[in-house]
Amino acid sequence: MYGLAYAQGQGAATGGGWVSLVPIILMILIFYFLLIRPQQKKEKQRVEMINSLRKGDKVITAGGMYGVVVDVKEDVVTLKVANNTNIDFVKNSIQAKVS
């Protein structure tokens, strides 16, 4: 009697295993479309903006420094932040263009 009940319980548990994975898969998909994908898209736009920097563009750095692009090299951007004051920044530290 106990053997039959035990066997039926095991069969029901293994059949429900796949059903319990569905909510987890749905959560992963929701996280991807609401959090990960938009962040990747925003980072791609920022990289394109950095690659399109030209002399005369007004920018803001990640540290909050405003400046005008004076020179663009391979990995370094020179910003004019005041009269006779130029500072070199790594390109990746440029956060946004300012209009």
For the chain, domain boundaries: 1-52, 54-99
Tens digits of residue pLDDT in 22-57: 999 999 999 999 999 999 999 999 999 999 999 999
Nearest residue to 58 via CA among 95, 83, 21: 95
What is the chain's Cα-based Rg? Answer: 27
Q: How many residues does the chain have?
A: 99
Report angle CA 91, 69, 47 to the nearest 5 degrees. 35
Please spell the DSSP secondary structure of 5-25, one letter per residue.
HHHHHHHHHHHTHHHHHHHHH
Tens digits of residue pLDDT in 80-92: 999 999 999 999 9
Would you place residue 2 in the very low, low, confident or very high pLDDT band (cuts 50, 70, 90)?
low
pLDDT at residue 3 tops 80: no
Distance between CA atoms of residues 80 and 59, nearest Å:
10
pLDDT at residue 9 tops 60: no
Q: Nearest 5°: phi and psi at 70?
A: -100, -40
**Four-way CATH pick for 54-99: 2.60.120.10, 3.30.365.10, 3.30.420.10, 2.30.30.60:** 2.30.30.60
